[in-house]
Amino acid sequence: AFVAFQDELMRSPGLYAVEEGEPETRKRSLRLVLEKKLAILERAIESNPSSVDLKLAKLKLCAEFWEPATLLKEWQKLIFLHPNNTALWQKYLLFCQSQFSTFSVSKIQSLYGKCLSTLSAVRDGSIVSHPELPGTEEAMFALFLQQCHFLRQAGHSEKAVSLFQAMVDFTFFKPDSVKGLPTKGQVEFFEPFWDSGEPRAGEKGARGWRAWMHQQEWGGWVAVGADDDDEEPEEEDQEIRDKALPRWQIWLAAERSRDHRHWRPWRPDKARKQTEEDCEDPERQVLFDDLGQSLIRLSSPDLQFQMMAAFLQFLGVPSGFSPPTPCLYLAMDENSIFDSELYDEKPLTFLDLSCSGVSCVGRMEPLGGRRWPRGPSREGEEFIRNVFHLALPLFAGRERSQLCVSWLRYEITKVVWCLHTKNKKRLKSQGKNCKKLAKNLLKEPDNRNSFCLWQQYAHLEWLLGNTEDARKVFEAALGTAGSRGLEDPELCELGLLYAALETELSPPVGGAAPARAVHVLSGLAERHPYGPCTGQVSAVHVLKARRAYEHALQDWLGERRGPDPGPPDRFSRLVSLAKCFMLFQYLTVGVDAAGRVYEQVFAGLRGSVSSEAAGLEGALEAVTLMHTSLLRFHGRVAAHPLAPLREALSEALRLYPGNQLLWRAYVQIQSKSHSASRTRRFFHAITRSTKLLEPWLFAIEAERMRKRLVDAVQRVDGREVHATLPETGLTHRIRALFESAVRSDHGSQCPLLWRMYLNFLVSLGNKERSKGVFYKALQNCPWAKALYMDAVEYFPDEMQEVMDLMTEKELRVRLPLEELELLLED
């Protein structure tokens, strides 16, 4: 705390300020403060020689003074003394990963392997001197994910996908005969399977390690024959369409095309009598040495499911998985986090399809490029289908249902994409395929009563414009529920979506609320078997339903105060109950009544101390999101002041500064305000009170939106209008924000932030300063291939130098310049 207090002396006058001559003055003052901090820390370490936190603080501070080699030696000493400390490993990996002078992909890859194998030895008890610390398994999983995203961002997609494939077999298909061995022994037994040529997860005919081992022990009783009538693989989609384009443009398009098509590891196709010599690019083959050390044991069923969800999210399937915070900011590399079109159009029923700014494998789009990038190739689609077919039998109950929903949502995203791009031809075939999958999933005995799946299927019909068919699906599902009503969170969510869709179709403005919506929400509360809607719901039924909601909510909040923790799904029950009650009050009384329900839930939960803080926070966040969505919807359909929404969003963001949806809404609302000072004060307060990166990213986006607006006003009909608006002031503000953000804890190693900074400076036309920021970005994120590709686009004259850097640092270049020359000559 004393060390941190020294930073108060260095606080600049404000978040947005950069003064003339400030960098020099700042450097002198900084040096004095650093020396003072170091003296404090050295005295503290003398008194507490075993404190890892103090030693870490000293290393962080000495990065400003020492040479990288000296710093590395100190890090290695610390890791040697504390090989069981996962937080230390995470910081050490990050330090090595961001040292440009010593960085290479193979070095960092082997370092991840060393880290995970050492922690595995600690867990197995092989390192007797250091016991396993609490939370080691979760931290190892986070480090494994960090490694996969590191490889993806460096362009080595095949290695990242292979790591996930190997983990699927190592986790779910382990033979019983090796389960008692330590991790190292299990990995040794796994190597022959990996090298055997047996199909792996995502490949056709994959049966798993266990089945292969059984076959080896008992003889070749199973042989999977390849289909002779297989279609030819969709190879070379024409890479060079126009040779007249500049050389750098041709290279970027071809490199992105190969990234998009070649993310799966190359395996010889036995049906076509291929051998390993037939592979044109040896880098596409992944050897066991590339991944053996990184295989870890996951014993927790929850982590096993998270691993499968992470693999699907990595492939571009919206499985709802988000990496842990430190890993998330390292993995963020594209600006979809600012896309709010879907949310703006349908605040109550939008599908949140963004992946938190993390690209999926095979995508390396330019910043601000197409908002709806193409989906995987045909072979990629088949790979994803095979992963689902392999994964579904491994889980049961809620987890299996969640996987089915993810699969259907993945297909629905393609329908939404076709609707968004108005691609009618593709929409027809995509809609047909999606409906077929929904029906096949619902035919399975385990899924017949899955309200989550019925909900997705009905939503699909609604999106396709088949409103009557969608209503039939909703009502059939509600009809099977009997009198479960508000007890079943999945049923409530289904009823809520139905009511919300009806509300958006005919908003309750100046007249009666949509009868179907009120009928559905009343039916849930009254616990009668569901019957079809016959017209406006009577006042008596509305009153009964309101009382039922009030009692249910009071009962839930009363349970919280009792000694019994209650059933495991209690938080999801509260969320669905509160959301239904809020929409019901909005439709039958008004927007203020819905706000009072939110306040009641908030007051009932916020003050309580709970051992399940994460579940409680998640529930409050979901209810807050519903409240702000209702206010946004009401603002769209009725004349309503923005102040209540602005206050609600500000209050919500103080509590949940990492919620990207709330930030999107806040920035959108504030862009309509003429007074920027309130927004700036708010961002300044939030960035000082939290270490999260989202407030920085959205503060920058808010200023850039304002600048775009000013630019549009100043350049009407192609003529320059010399307005009194201080345009240059905005430019300096944005630059100051970027500078502060890249100095923050998480910001310095976030590829997205550096890409945005570089893009902004290039848009101003200042080439020299832009190049300076590019090289500064490489000092912090030397692994991010997207940065190098941006540099080729922004500085075409430096293309050869950038390519040489990529080769030196071992980033994956799929189309070397020599090959490009040959292709251009053909």
Contact (Cβ atoms closer than 8 angstroms) between residue 623 and residue 598: yes
Q: Which SS3 state, helix, strand or coil, does residue 658 take?
A: coil
Confidence class for position 229, pLDDT limits 50, 70, 90: very low
Torsions phi, psi of 715, nearest 5?
Answer: -125, 70
Query: How high is the pLDDT of residue 368?
Result: 74
Confidence class for position 12, pLDDT limits 50, 70, 90: low
Neighbours of 239 (CB within 10 A): 17
Neighbours of 442 (CB within 10 A): 19
Query: How high is the pLDDT of residue 67?
Result: 85
Distance CA 631, CA 640 (A): 9
Closest by CA to 314, choosing from 352, 282, 358, 350, is 358
Confidence class for position 766, pLDDT limits 50, 70, 90: confident
Distance CA 675, CA 657 (A): 22
Distance CA 630, CA 489 (A): 20
Confidence class for position 267, pLDDT limits 50, 70, 90: confident
Contact (Cβ atoms closer than 8 angstroms) between residue 463 and residue 415: yes
Q: Which amino acid, residue 590?
A: G
Residue pointed to by tokens 């050295």: 42
**Cβ-Cβ contacts under 8 Å for 618 (sequence gap 6 or more):** 571
Q: Which two tokens stand for residue 126?
A: 């092989």
Q: Which SS3 state, helix, strand or coil, does residue 228 take?
A: coil
- Which is it for the CA torsion 483, 486, 489, 495, positive or negative? positive
Higher per-residue pLDDT: 49 or 685: 685
Average pLDDT rounded to a whole number, residues 233-259:
79
Neighbours of 774 (CB within 10 A): 22
Closest by CA to 182, choosing from 119, 133, 227, 124, is 124
Distance CA 51, CA 73 (A): 19
Query: How high is the pLDDT of residue 221?
Result: 47
Residue pointed to by tokens 């002779």: 228
**Cβ-Cβ contacts under 8 Å for 337 (sequence gap 6 or more):** 354, 356, 357, 660, 664, 694, 697, 752
Query: How high is the pLDDT of residue 586?
Result: 94
Distance CA 458, CA 439 (A): 11
Query: How high is the pLDDT of residue 238?
Result: 64
Distance CA 739, CA 741 (A): 5
**Cβ-Cβ contacts under 8 Å for 753 (sequence gap 6 or more):** 332, 693, 696, 697, 738, 741, 742, 747
Helix, strand, coil shares, percent, the chain, to 5: 65, 0, 30
Query: How high is the pLDDT of residue 636?
Result: 86
Q: Which two tokens stand for residue 646?
A: 């602005």
pLDDT in tens, 459-484: 999 999 999 999 999 999 998 887 77
Torsions phi, psi of 746, nearest 5?
Answer: -90, -20
Closest by CA to 434, choosing from 398, 459, 408, is 408
- Which is it for the CA torsion 432, 438, 440, 443, positive or negative? negative
Average pLDDT rounded to a whole number, residues 174-188:
93
Q: State the Rg of the chain over Cα.
A: 28
**Measured between alpha carbons, how far is residue 362 from residues 58, 154, 244, 807 in Å?**
40, 12, 27, 20
Distance CA 814, CA 796 (A): 18
Distance CA 501, CA 507 (A): 10
Neighbours of 482 (CB within 10 A): 12
Average pLDDT rounded to a whole number, residues 145-162:
96
Q: Which two tokens stand for residue 240?
A: 């060079």
What is 614-654 written as a DSSP string? HHHHHHHHHHHHHHHHHHHHHHHHS---SHHHHHHHHHHHH
pLDDT in tens, 588-623: 999 999 999 999 999 888 766 555 666 788 889 999
pLDDT in tens, 271-283: 777 777 777 888 8
Torsions phi, psi of 660, nearest 5?
Answer: -70, -35
Query: How high is the pLDDT of residue 408?
Result: 95
Query: How high is the pLDDT of residue 202?
Result: 92
Torsions phi, psi of 744, nearest 5?
Answer: -75, 165
Distance CA 450, CA 435 (A): 16
Distance CA 474, CA 455 (A): 7
Q: Which SS3 state, helix, strand or coil, does residue 719 take?
A: strand
- Which is it for the CA torsion 434, 436, 438, 440, positive or negative? negative
Query: How high is the pLDDT of residue 401?
Result: 93
Average pLDDT rounded to a whole number, residues 79-93:
93
Query: How high is the pLDDT of residue 583?
Result: 96
DSSP 8-class letter at 173: S
25 pLDDT more than 90? no
Confidence class for position 805, pLDDT limits 50, 70, 90: very high
Contact (Cβ atoms closer than 8 angstroms) between residue 146 and residue 94: no
Neighbours of 601 (CB within 10 A): 26
Distance CA 64, CA 461 (A): 59
Query: How high is the pLDDT of residue 607?
Result: 63
635 pLDDT more than 60? yes
Higher per-residue pLDDT: 732 or 510: 732
- Which is it for the CA torsion 503, 506, 512, 518, positive or negative? negative
158-172, 225-239, 394-408: least confidently modelled range: 225-239
364-368, 407-411, 559-563: least confidently modelled range: 559-563
296 pLDDT more than 80? yes
Q: Which amino acid, residue 292?
A: G
Residue pointed to by tokens 């927004």: 679
Query: How high is the pLDDT of residue 141?
Result: 97
Q: Which two tokens stand for residue 15?
A: 């978040």
Query: How high is the pLDDT of residue 230?
Result: 46
